[in-house]
Structure 1
Amino acid sequence: MTKTCDVAILGASGYTGAELVRLIATHPGMRIKALTADRKAGQSYAEVFPHLRHLDLPRLTTIGELDTGGIDLAFCALPHATSQEVIAGLPRDLKVVDLSADFRLKDPAVYEKWYGHPHLALDLQAEAVYGLTEFYRDEIKGTRLCAGTGCNAATGLYGLLPLLRAGVIDPDDIIIDLATGVSGAGRSPKEGSLHAEVSEGYHAYNVAKHRHLAEFDQEFSKAAGRKVEVTFVPHLLPQNRGILATIYVRGEGEAVHKALTEAYAGEPFLVVLPYGEAPATRHVRGSNFVHLGVIPDRRPGRVMVFSTLDNLTKGSSGQALQNANLMLGLPETMGLMAAPLFP
């Protein structure tokens, strides 16, 4: 018999909170015992997310009203700069998976540079484990605090980390051209996320200054054993979910494909497509899967690597659940093997 673990979701009124509820609702080893959302405290979850009205869920409360007694793990789906203070106030024996940016960067000076203010929980920052599951599985199993990756960052990291580790590409010539759905901007009202601002259009944003560059710098440099800085241009897609990264590198196509295939052999959620095939966001929508493709350029020595995932699932809430399974001693894939939604 699988043990049942009681969990709380802090910040349950956002997109990632709702995605966590959707996934955990059919998880045989977890039970939702508390949901917080300060601005919507007192409401039923059905009032906030009518598509989940069939579930028997606790009413939303404020974080101040949260009773952590009996809770085995808390998912923190709060905005960055909020999570660090909230998590610092939680019991030190409570396991936490944080979905914000607050604990992703190991160097406090780098965090302050990219986020514009000092970190307020340096002891927690030092102990947090970066939540890219397939690369930090053993560390995640033993940690109390797991820091979920950025969704854009995860998409690029899955396509490049094995190649840098294997030394099959030039680390000084990497371009990540990435397109992402609107839900990555969160649920809070923003002018740039309005339907009239997004539909029927396609544009680059945060060029040369996107905060996920800090994660790329940290993880790529670690993998290569030397400083690596990539060119990264994110674009906003007029769709709700999904990220597709087209990555341009110098290398040999078959060697690149072999490195990815060998790195992800046996990984339940990482699918390397046949050589010469490119993936599509619609083939991973609503799932915890990542599809990767490799196509050689017409010019010898240049290769295109493609990586796609659902930003709300494998890029955030699904990744969080995968890591929580490890931290709680549950099977890693539990609650996450549902097929992608199609069409």
Structure 2
Amino acid sequence: MLQTAVFGASGYAGGEVVKIIDGHPEMSVGFLGAHSRAGVSLGSVQPHLGGGDRVLADNDPAQLPDDVEVAFLALPHGKSTETALSLRDRGIKVVDLGSDFRLDSNDRYLRGYGSDHPHPEQLADWAYGLPELFEVADEDQVAAPGCYPTAVLLAIAPLAAAGLVDQTSIVADCLSGVSGAGRSARDDLTFGAIAEGVRGYGLTNHRHRPEIEMGLELAGVPEPRVVFTPHLVPMLRGELATVTVPTDTDVETARSVLKEAYDASPFVSVIDTPPQTRWVVGSNQAMVAVWVDEWTGRLISQCGIDNLVKGAAGQAVQCANLMFGLPESTGLSTAGWMP
């Protein structure tokens, strides 16, 4: 049994990692870290994970049992860096669900986060963990993509890499449930602020735009330019990306390219109807569909995911499976919670 550690187990993404590993036939949780809730029981913080005597510890790598082989970091931005470096020095493999190591250069990091990376020399040592597009099997340090980049890249990367679209004019409009903002209390995330309304945010400077453009470049797309508009919608979880881009291709060709790209993937389904978030919530599945609007000469590609599973915890476990030579679908569901 592969022993794991989960840092940030009191949050939404960290709790989802624990939930998945609890049902994983080849993994077991050997350490639970949660800085602000250290010393309390997991059940008191994450009651849906059951009671028992599991107690949260501080997010301190020095407290890890000697048999831990892989650590999942579900920490706020800026909190993973030193923890990850300490774990690496102990020979422990790391999957970071946070944003500290997703970008491949300090220039991109500066554009996305407005400051220099504290250890820019380390960025090149991390693999970008979107297994449908990039290899992670031989890696020791994997940065799981953000939820928005996951959905956008799955929707458009194979099409752009095949030269079917104008990669300099990609428009990505995305809708996400509020759990994507994390569990910390904020005035703008209260029920009164969220219910009965939809709002856009980060319209010209969201940190995920440099990540999306980087992912496209890693997929072989030269000099991509993306207009990225995220929206917060009044639902708990689920995410839908709608990507539009000029094209000269036809829908049959576009659909064929997507089906070939994801033919071997257990988690990406290319469908003929607009995906709905309710079909994928609770699962590691992504549903992708594509159309060509002949009137405007634009391709429309949509991808629906659960932002906490395929957009976070499930994808992290998928990466860990591959890092340890397990079938990538081990312990992960392709069935949503419908209805």
TM-score (norm 2): 0.95
Q: Contact 2:200–2:229 (CA<8 Å) still a contact in 1?
A: yes
Deviations 1:224-281 (A, max 9, x none): 442111111111110000110111122222221111111111210000002xx21100
After TM superposition, give the deviation of residue 116 of structure 1 in Å.
2.2
After TM superposition, give the deviation of residue 43 of structure 1 in Å.
0.6
Task: Name the structure 2 match of 1:115.
Answer: 113
For the pair 1:48 / 2:48, whether they are aligned, the reply is no
Q: Contact 1:142–1:327 (CA<8 Å) still a contact in 2?
A: yes
Task: Name the structure 2 match of 1:39.
Answer: 36
Structure 1 residues 289 and 225, CA gap change in structure 2 (3 angstroms): closer
Pairing partner for 2:102 from 101, 104, 109: 104
User: Is the partner of 1:324 in helix, strand or coil?
Assistant: helix
Task: Name the structure 1 match of 2:199.
Answer: 203
Q: Contact 1:180–1:235 (CA<8 Å) still a contact in 2?
A: yes
Aligned mates of 1:228, 1:216 — CA distance in 2: 9
Pairing partner for 1:306 from 299, 302, 307: 302
For the pair 1:177 / 2:173, whether they are aligned, the reply is yes
User: Is the partner of 1:292 in helix, strand or coil?
Assistant: strand
Pairing partner for 2:68 from 49, 66, 71: 71
Aligned mates of 1:289, 1:219 — CA distance in 2: 20
User: Is the partner of 1:51 in helix, strand or coil?
Assistant: helix
Pairing partner for 1:163 from 134, 159, 162: 159
Q: Which segment is superposed worse, 65-74 or 191-200?
A: 65-74
Q: Contact 1:73–1:96 (CA<8 Å) still a contact in 2?
A: yes
For the pair 1:246 / 2:232, whether they are aligned, the reply is no
Q: Contact 2:11–2:182 (CA<8 Å) still a contact in 1?
A: yes
Q: Contact 2:201–2:230 (CA<8 Å) still a contact in 1?
A: yes
Aligned mates of 2:36, 2:10 — CA distance in 1: 9
Deviations 1:16-58 (A, max 9, x none): 011011111110000101101111111111000111115x463
Q: Structure 2 matches for 1:126-275, cutoff 5 A?
A: 126-137=124-135, 140-251=136-247, 252-274=250-272
User: Is the partner of 1:60 in helix, strand or coil?
Assistant: coil
User: Is the partner of 2:137 in helix, strand or coil?
Assistant: helix
User: Is the partner of 1:308 in helix, strand or coil?
Assistant: strand
After TM superposition, give the deviation of residue 318 of structure 1 in Å.
0.2
For the pair 1:291 / 2:279, whether they are aligned, the reply is no
Aligned mates of 1:326, 1:7 — CA distance in 2: 15
User: Is the partner of 1:241 in helix, strand or coil?
Assistant: coil
Pairing partner for 1:23 from 20, 25, 29: 20
Aligned mates of 2:331, 2:238 — CA distance in 1: 20
- What runs of 5+ residues in structure 1 fail to find an aligned partner? none
After TM superposition, give the deviation of residue 300 of structure 1 in Å.
5.5
For the pair 1:335 / 2:331, whether they are aligned, the reply is yes
Aligned mates of 1:340, 1:229 — CA distance in 2: 33
Q: Contact 2:168–2:223 (CA<8 Å) still a contact in 1?
A: no
Task: Name the structure 2 match of 1:317.
Answer: 313
User: Is the partner of 1:13 in helix, strand or coil?
Assistant: coil
Letter in 1 for 2:222: R
Aligned mates of 2:253, 2:80 — CA distance in 1: 41
Task: Name the structure 2 match of 1:86.
Answer: 83
After TM superposition, give the deviation of residue 222 of structure 1 in Å.
3.6
- What runs of 5+ residues in structure 2 fail to find an aligned partner? none
Q: Contact 1:34–1:58 (CA<8 Å) still a contact in 2?
A: no
Q: Contact 1:279–1:292 (CA<8 Å) still a contact in 2?
A: yes
After TM superposition, give the deviation of residue 164 of structure 1 in Å.
1.1
Structure 1 residues 328 and 224, CA gap change in structure 2 (3 angstroms): closer
Q: Contact 2:157–2:219 (CA<8 Å) still a contact in 1?
A: yes
Q: Which segment is superposed worse, 220-229 or 101-110?
A: 220-229
Q: Contact 2:169–2:226 (CA<8 Å) still a contact in 1?
A: yes
C-alpha RMSD over aligned residues: 1.4
After TM superposition, give the deviation of residue 296 of structure 1 in Å.
2.8
Task: Name the structure 2 match of 1:124.
Answer: 122
After TM superposition, give the deviation of residue 113 of structure 1 in Å.
2.8
